[in-house]
Amino acid sequence: MSPDLNRYASPQALRAHPPTEVDWKSRVRVERKELNERLAKLTTFLLSAHVAALDPIDRDLLIRQREAMVAYSAILDLRIDRL
């Protein structure tokens, strides 16, 4: 697994322990992995029968959230390709 990422949680911790380039690359990869896991769960939910019970506004917001997550994942992919 990657180095302990929790030590970079606050600005004070960042100043005390600035990330190395390897840490930064690892964090981007971990972020993409976690995002894609959440994206898969949201997609599964949106394709399920449970989504029909949602208020139409909430359903629309979840669809828009998924679209934003897809775009963000694509950006992370591009950043990782440039590493």
Count the neighbouring beta carbons within 10 Å of the beta carbon of residue 14: 12
Please give the pLDDT value at position 20. Answer: 75
Q: What is the pLDDT of residues 6-15, one digit of tens each?
A: 555 567 766 7
Angle at 48 between CA 50 and CA 44, to 5 degrees: 120
H or E segment to which residue 6 belongs: none
The pTM is what? 0.73
Q: What is the pLDDT of residues 24-82, one digit of tens each?
A: 889 999 999 999 999 999 999 999 999 999 999 999 999 999 999 999 999 999 999 99
**5 pLDDT more than 70:** no
Angle at 42 between CA 50 and CA 70, to 5 degrees: 145
Please give the pLDDT value at position 17. Answer: 72
Domain spans in the chain, listed from the N-terminal domain onward? 20-81
- Residue 33 corresponds to which amino acid? K
